[in-house]
Structure 1
Amino acid sequence: MDDTPKFGENDRMPATRIETRRGWIGTRRLDVIEAVQRALLIGLKLPEDDRCIRLLEYEHDAMIVPKGRGPSYTVIEITLFSGRSLDAKRRLYAALAGELSAFDVPARDIKTILVEVPPENWGLRGLPASEINLGYKIDV
Protein backbone atom coordinates (compact mmCIF):
# COMPACT_ATOMS: atom_id res chain seq x y z
CA MET A 1 0.00 0.00 0.00
CA ASP A 2 1.30 3.45 -0.94
CA ASP A 3 1.39 5.67 2.16
CA THR A 4 2.72 8.70 0.28
CA PRO A 5 0.48 11.69 1.03
CA LYS A 6 -1.95 12.29 -1.83
CA PHE A 7 -2.19 15.56 -3.70
CA GLY A 8 -5.26 17.39 -2.40
CA GLU A 9 -7.83 19.17 -4.52
CA ASN A 10 -7.08 22.43 -2.71
CA ASP A 11 -3.38 22.33 -3.65
CA ARG A 12 -2.58 23.86 -7.01
CA MET A 13 0.39 23.97 -9.32
CA PRO A 14 1.75 25.33 -11.50
CA ALA A 15 1.33 28.91 -10.36
CA THR A 16 0.64 31.24 -13.29
CA ARG A 17 0.73 35.03 -13.40
CA ILE A 18 -0.61 36.99 -16.37
CA GLU A 19 0.62 40.59 -16.57
CA THR A 20 -0.56 43.14 -19.11
CA ARG A 21 -1.59 46.77 -19.50
CA ARG A 22 -5.05 47.83 -18.43
CA GLY A 23 -7.65 48.52 -21.08
CA TRP A 24 -7.73 45.79 -23.70
CA ILE A 25 -9.26 43.04 -21.55
CA GLY A 26 -12.21 45.07 -20.26
CA THR A 27 -14.88 42.80 -18.82
CA ARG A 28 -13.26 39.64 -20.25
CA ARG A 29 -10.90 39.00 -17.32
CA LEU A 30 -12.28 35.57 -16.46
CA ASP A 31 -12.39 34.66 -20.16
CA VAL A 32 -8.67 35.44 -20.52
CA ILE A 33 -7.86 33.44 -17.37
CA GLU A 34 -9.86 30.47 -18.69
CA ALA A 35 -8.06 30.71 -22.06
CA VAL A 36 -4.70 30.49 -20.31
CA GLN A 37 -6.01 27.59 -18.23
CA ARG A 38 -7.00 25.70 -21.40
CA ALA A 39 -3.51 26.26 -22.81
CA LEU A 40 -1.97 24.88 -19.61
CA LEU A 41 -4.17 21.78 -19.85
CA ILE A 42 -3.18 21.22 -23.49
CA GLY A 43 0.51 21.98 -23.11
CA LEU A 44 1.30 20.46 -19.74
CA LYS A 45 -1.44 17.80 -19.65
CA LEU A 46 -2.63 18.92 -16.23
CA PRO A 47 -5.75 17.61 -14.53
CA GLU A 48 -8.81 19.77 -15.29
CA ASP A 49 -9.11 21.00 -11.69
CA ASP A 50 -5.47 22.09 -11.36
CA ARG A 51 -5.88 25.87 -11.17
CA CYS A 52 -3.78 28.72 -9.80
CA ILE A 53 -3.81 31.73 -12.14
CA ARG A 54 -3.56 35.42 -11.28
CA LEU A 55 -4.22 38.31 -13.64
CA LEU A 56 -2.54 41.64 -13.02
CA GLU A 57 -3.34 44.71 -15.11
CA TYR A 58 -1.08 47.75 -14.97
CA GLU A 59 -1.64 51.37 -15.89
CA HIS A 60 0.13 52.24 -19.15
CA ASP A 61 2.84 54.20 -17.35
CA ALA A 62 3.58 51.27 -15.02
CA MET A 63 4.65 48.81 -17.73
CA ILE A 64 7.21 49.48 -20.43
CA VAL A 65 6.95 47.07 -23.36
CA PRO A 66 9.31 46.28 -26.23
CA LYS A 67 9.20 48.60 -29.23
CA GLY A 68 6.72 47.49 -31.88
CA ARG A 69 4.42 45.63 -29.50
CA GLY A 70 0.74 46.44 -29.22
CA PRO A 71 -1.54 47.48 -26.38
CA SER A 72 -2.27 43.83 -25.57
CA TYR A 73 1.37 42.92 -24.87
CA THR A 74 1.19 40.19 -22.23
CA VAL A 75 3.76 38.45 -20.05
CA ILE A 76 2.77 35.02 -18.77
CA GLU A 77 5.03 33.67 -16.05
CA ILE A 78 4.48 30.06 -15.08
CA THR A 79 6.22 28.61 -12.05
CA LEU A 80 6.15 24.83 -12.33
CA PHE A 81 7.99 21.69 -11.35
CA SER A 82 10.99 20.97 -13.51
CA GLY A 83 10.78 17.94 -15.76
CA ARG A 84 8.56 18.93 -18.70
CA SER A 85 9.87 17.97 -22.13
CA LEU A 86 10.66 20.46 -24.87
CA ASP A 87 7.66 19.07 -26.78
CA ALA A 88 5.38 19.90 -23.83
CA LYS A 89 6.78 23.43 -23.72
CA ARG A 90 6.25 23.83 -27.46
CA ARG A 91 2.63 22.64 -27.06
CA LEU A 92 2.16 25.15 -24.26
CA TYR A 93 3.59 28.11 -26.21
CA ALA A 94 1.48 27.25 -29.27
CA ALA A 95 -1.65 26.74 -27.16
CA LEU A 96 -1.17 30.10 -25.42
CA ALA A 97 -0.80 31.86 -28.78
CA GLY A 98 -3.87 30.05 -30.13
CA GLU A 99 -6.05 30.74 -27.11
CA LEU A 100 -5.10 34.42 -26.87
CA SER A 101 -5.62 34.98 -30.58
CA ALA A 102 -9.37 34.82 -29.81
CA PHE A 103 -8.81 38.13 -27.96
CA ASP A 104 -6.89 39.62 -30.91
CA VAL A 105 -3.56 39.22 -29.10
CA PRO A 106 -0.95 38.55 -31.78
CA ALA A 107 1.68 35.90 -30.98
CA ARG A 108 4.40 38.58 -31.11
CA ASP A 109 2.70 40.27 -28.13
CA ILE A 110 2.98 37.19 -25.89
CA LYS A 111 6.05 36.57 -23.75
CA THR A 112 6.02 33.31 -21.81
CA ILE A 113 8.51 32.67 -19.03
CA LEU A 114 8.78 29.26 -17.42
CA VAL A 115 10.35 29.17 -13.97
CA GLU A 116 11.17 25.55 -13.23
CA VAL A 117 11.42 24.53 -9.59
CA PRO A 118 12.52 21.14 -8.26
CA PRO A 119 9.61 19.54 -6.32
CA GLU A 120 11.65 19.58 -3.12
CA ASN A 121 11.70 23.39 -3.35
CA TRP A 122 7.88 23.66 -3.43
CA GLY A 123 6.04 23.30 -0.14
CA LEU A 124 2.47 22.01 0.08
CA ARG A 125 0.64 21.46 3.38
CA GLY A 126 3.89 21.62 5.32
CA LEU A 127 5.68 19.02 3.15
CA PRO A 128 8.00 19.20 0.18
CA ALA A 129 6.06 18.37 -2.98
CA SER A 130 8.64 15.66 -3.72
CA GLU A 131 7.06 13.70 -0.84
CA ILE A 132 3.48 14.02 -2.13
CA ASN A 133 1.78 11.83 -4.73
CA LEU A 134 0.67 14.50 -7.22
CA GLY A 135 -1.72 12.23 -9.06
CA TYR A 136 -0.35 13.09 -12.50
CA LYS A 137 2.88 12.94 -14.49
CA ILE A 138 5.30 15.84 -14.66
CA ASP A 139 7.57 14.46 -17.39
CA VAL A 140 5.11 14.83 -20.28
Structure 2
Amino acid sequence: MPATRIGTRRGWLGNRRGELVEAVQRALQTGLLIPDNDRCIRLTEYDDDAMLAPPEKGPSYLLIEVTLFSGRSVEAKRRLYAALVEELEPLGIPAGDIKTILIEVDSVNWGLQGVPASEIDLGYKIDV
Protein backbone atom coordinates (compact mmCIF):
# COMPACT_ATOMS: atom_id res chain seq x y z
CA MET A 1 0.00 0.00 0.00
CA PRO A 2 2.79 2.45 -0.78
CA ALA A 3 2.08 6.08 -1.62
CA THR A 4 4.61 7.32 -4.15
CA ARG A 5 5.51 10.84 -5.16
CA ILE A 6 7.66 11.55 -8.22
CA GLY A 7 9.21 14.97 -8.66
CA THR A 8 11.01 16.12 -11.80
CA ARG A 9 11.68 19.17 -13.94
CA ARG A 10 8.91 20.33 -16.24
CA GLY A 11 9.17 19.89 -19.98
CA TRP A 12 11.32 16.89 -20.74
CA LEU A 13 8.58 14.26 -20.36
CA GLY A 14 6.19 15.69 -22.92
CA ASN A 15 3.28 13.30 -23.42
CA ARG A 16 5.05 10.41 -21.64
CA ARG A 17 3.75 11.17 -18.14
CA GLY A 18 1.59 8.04 -18.12
CA GLU A 19 4.52 5.91 -19.26
CA LEU A 20 6.65 7.20 -16.39
CA VAL A 21 3.95 6.56 -13.79
CA GLU A 22 3.29 3.05 -15.13
CA ALA A 23 7.03 2.27 -15.15
CA VAL A 24 7.27 3.26 -11.49
CA GLN A 25 4.19 1.14 -10.72
CA ARG A 26 5.80 -1.90 -12.35
CA ALA A 27 8.97 -1.33 -10.34
CA LEU A 28 6.96 -1.15 -7.11
CA GLN A 29 5.27 -4.45 -8.00
CA THR A 30 8.61 -6.10 -8.77
CA GLY A 31 10.43 -4.73 -5.76
CA LEU A 32 7.80 -4.74 -3.05
CA LEU A 33 5.62 -7.56 -4.43
CA ILE A 34 2.45 -5.46 -4.30
CA PRO A 35 -0.56 -6.39 -6.45
CA ASP A 36 -1.31 -4.45 -9.65
CA ASN A 37 -4.42 -2.86 -8.17
CA ASP A 38 -2.41 -1.27 -5.34
CA ARG A 39 -1.88 2.11 -6.99
CA CYS A 40 -1.12 5.49 -5.47
CA ILE A 41 1.43 7.48 -7.48
CA ARG A 42 1.59 11.25 -7.93
CA LEU A 43 3.76 13.02 -10.47
CA THR A 44 4.73 16.65 -9.95
CA GLU A 45 6.65 18.61 -12.56
CA TYR A 46 8.53 21.68 -11.38
CA ASP A 47 9.69 24.78 -13.21
CA ASP A 48 13.49 24.98 -13.41
CA ASP A 49 13.61 27.63 -10.70
CA ALA A 50 11.45 25.51 -8.35
CA MET A 51 13.60 22.37 -8.28
CA LEU A 52 17.22 22.59 -7.27
CA ALA A 53 19.13 19.48 -8.33
CA PRO A 54 22.82 18.64 -8.32
CA PRO A 55 24.48 20.44 -11.28
CA GLU A 56 25.75 17.20 -12.87
CA LYS A 57 22.22 15.76 -13.14
CA GLY A 58 20.37 15.86 -16.44
CA PRO A 59 16.95 17.31 -17.23
CA SER A 60 15.34 13.94 -16.46
CA TYR A 61 16.49 13.97 -12.83
CA LEU A 62 13.84 12.25 -10.67
CA LEU A 63 13.22 12.31 -6.96
CA ILE A 64 11.05 9.32 -6.09
CA GLU A 65 9.69 9.24 -2.54
CA VAL A 66 7.90 6.08 -1.51
CA THR A 67 5.98 6.13 1.77
CA LEU A 68 5.34 2.54 2.81
CA PHE A 69 4.60 0.35 5.79
CA SER A 70 7.64 -0.68 7.81
CA GLY A 71 8.75 -4.27 7.49
CA ARG A 72 10.27 -4.71 4.02
CA SER A 73 13.59 -6.52 3.90
CA VAL A 74 16.79 -5.00 2.59
CA GLU A 75 16.49 -7.45 -0.32
CA ALA A 76 13.04 -6.09 -1.23
CA LYS A 77 14.44 -2.57 -1.16
CA ARG A 78 17.34 -3.62 -3.40
CA ARG A 79 14.86 -5.19 -5.82
CA LEU A 80 12.91 -1.93 -5.88
CA TYR A 81 15.96 0.25 -6.56
CA ALA A 82 17.12 -2.06 -9.36
CA ALA A 83 13.62 -2.35 -10.85
CA LEU A 84 13.28 1.44 -10.96
CA VAL A 85 16.51 1.75 -12.94
CA GLU A 86 15.45 -1.07 -15.28
CA GLU A 87 11.93 0.28 -15.86
CA LEU A 88 12.99 3.90 -16.34
CA GLU A 89 15.91 3.25 -18.70
CA PRO A 90 13.64 2.87 -21.78
CA LEU A 91 12.40 6.42 -21.11
CA GLY A 92 15.98 7.66 -21.43
CA ILE A 93 16.48 8.20 -17.70
CA PRO A 94 20.02 7.27 -16.68
CA ALA A 95 20.53 5.45 -13.38
CA GLY A 96 22.49 8.43 -12.08
CA ASP A 97 19.44 10.67 -12.47
CA ILE A 98 17.23 8.55 -10.17
CA LYS A 99 17.15 9.32 -6.45
CA THR A 100 14.85 7.13 -4.35
CA ILE A 101 13.91 7.78 -0.74
CA LEU A 102 11.88 5.27 1.26
CA ILE A 103 9.83 6.65 4.14
CA GLU A 104 8.73 3.84 6.43
CA VAL A 105 5.59 4.26 8.50
CA ASP A 106 4.19 1.87 11.09
CA SER A 107 0.83 0.60 9.81
CA VAL A 108 -0.91 1.87 12.95
CA ASN A 109 -0.08 5.39 11.69
CA TRP A 110 -1.79 4.88 8.32
CA GLY A 111 -5.56 5.25 8.19
CA LEU A 112 -7.67 3.31 5.69
CA GLN A 113 -11.45 3.19 5.60
CA GLY A 114 -11.56 5.03 8.91
CA VAL A 115 -9.38 2.57 10.86
CA PRO A 116 -5.65 1.95 11.30
CA ALA A 117 -4.17 -0.14 8.48
CA SER A 118 -2.81 -2.47 11.15
CA GLU A 119 -6.42 -3.67 11.65
CA ILE A 120 -7.09 -4.44 7.97
CA ASP A 121 -6.22 -7.52 5.95
CA LEU A 122 -4.41 -5.99 2.98
CA GLY A 123 -4.45 -9.22 1.02
CA TYR A 124 -0.66 -9.39 0.64
CA LYS A 125 2.45 -9.62 2.81
CA ILE A 126 4.47 -6.62 3.96
CA ASP A 127 7.46 -8.53 5.31
CA VAL A 128 8.90 -9.52 1.92
What TM-score comes out, normalization by structure 2 length? 0.98
Verify: 1:121 aligned to 2:109, yes or no.
Answer: yes
Displacement of 1:80 in angstroms is 0.3
**Per-residue deviation, residues 107-127 of structure 1 (Å, max 9, x unmatched):** 110000000000000000110
Q: Distance in 1 between matches of 2:36 and 2:59?
A: 31
Q: Which has the higher helix share?
A: 2
Q: Distance in 2 between matches of 1:137 and 1:64?
A: 37
Q: Distance in 1 between matches of 2:13 and 2:103?
A: 25
Give the AA of the match of 2:3: A
Q: Distance in 2 between matches of 1:102 and 1:124?
A: 35
Hey, what does 1:30 align to over in structure 2?
18
Give the AA of the match of 1:24: W
Instruction: Give the SS at the match of 1:102.
Output: helix
**Per-residue deviation, residues 43-87 of structure 1 (Å, max 9, x unmatched):** 000011100000000011110101211010000000000000000
Hey, what does 1:65 align to over in structure 2?
53
Matches within 5 A, 1:101-112: 101-112=89-100
Hey, what does 2:41 align to over in structure 1?
53
What TM-score comes out, normalization by structure 1 length? 0.90
Give the AA of the match of 1:67: P
Aligned Cα RMSD in Å?
A: 0.5
Give the AA of the match of 2:49: D
Q: Distance in 1 between matches of 2:73 and 2:57?
A: 29
Displacement of 1:23 in angstroms is 1.1
Give 5+ residue unaligned stretches, structure 2: none
Aligned length: 128
Hey, what does 1:41 align to over in structure 2?
29
Give the AA of the match of 1:99: E
Hey, what does 1:81 align to over in structure 2?
69
Displacement of 1:24 in angstroms is 1.2
Instruction: Give the SS at the match of 1:79.
Output: strand
Q: Which aligned segments of 4 or more residues in structure 1 are displaced greater than 4 angstroms?
A: none
